[in-house]
Homo-oligomer: A and B are copies of this chain.
C-alpha cells in the first residue's frame, strides 16, 4: 500500500510536471494530469489539496534537485572555485531543464499572491541562497573576496543567471552557454575578488 501510494504520487507529480510545462498553470487540466498519471481525478486530491498545491510541489521537487546538484558541486571547494562551480551547475541545470525552466519563470506570477506564502517557495529560495552566501562569507573571511554584502552578491549572481538563461532562450543572446558562463564569471567573480589577486 505505502509503496503503491508512493508510486501513484510520483506518477502524479511526473504527469503534472509534464502538463504544467506544456500548458502552463492555467491551461493545465486536472483530468489530463490524472489521465496521464493513470489515476482518477479524485486520487490527486488524496495527495494534494488543490491544483495550486500540486503545482507548488512540482516546483519544489525541481528546485530541490537543483539545490542538491549545487551542494554537491560546491562541496569542499575554495570560495572562488565554489562560486564558479555554482555558476556552472546552475547554468547547466537550466539548460538541461528547458521545459522546467519556463515553468520556473512562471512560478512567481501564476499563483495567487495569497497562496504563495503557503507554498513557501520564497522560503526555500531564501534558504538556498543563504547556503550560497556562506561561500561568499568564507571568501571574505579568508581575504579572497572584497567586503561586499554576501547576500547581495548571491542575489546578483542568481538574478544574472536567470536573466541570461531567459535571454538565451528568447534568442536575445547568440553566445554559447559556455561563453555566457565565462563572461558571467569574468564580470561577477572578478567584481567580488579583491583587486590585485
Chain A residues close to B by CB (< 8 Å): 24, 26-27, 102, 105-110, 112-113, 122, 125-126, 129, 146, 148-149, 151-153, 155-164, 166-167, 170, 172-173, 175, 179-180, 183-184, 186-192, 195-196
Contacts and interface: CB of A to CB of B under 8 A. Distances in A.
A172 B109 contact: no
B24 A113 contact: yes
Contact of A164 (B106, B108, B155, B175): B155
Contact of A186 (B27, B146, B163): B146
A18 to B, nearest CB: 15
Given A161-B159, A162-B163, A170-B122, A179 B149 contact: yes
B152 A156 contact: no
A146 to B, nearest CB: 7
Given A163-B156, A163-B158, A170-B122, A187 B183 contact: no
Given A155-B173, A163-B162, A172-B122, A149 B183 contact: yes
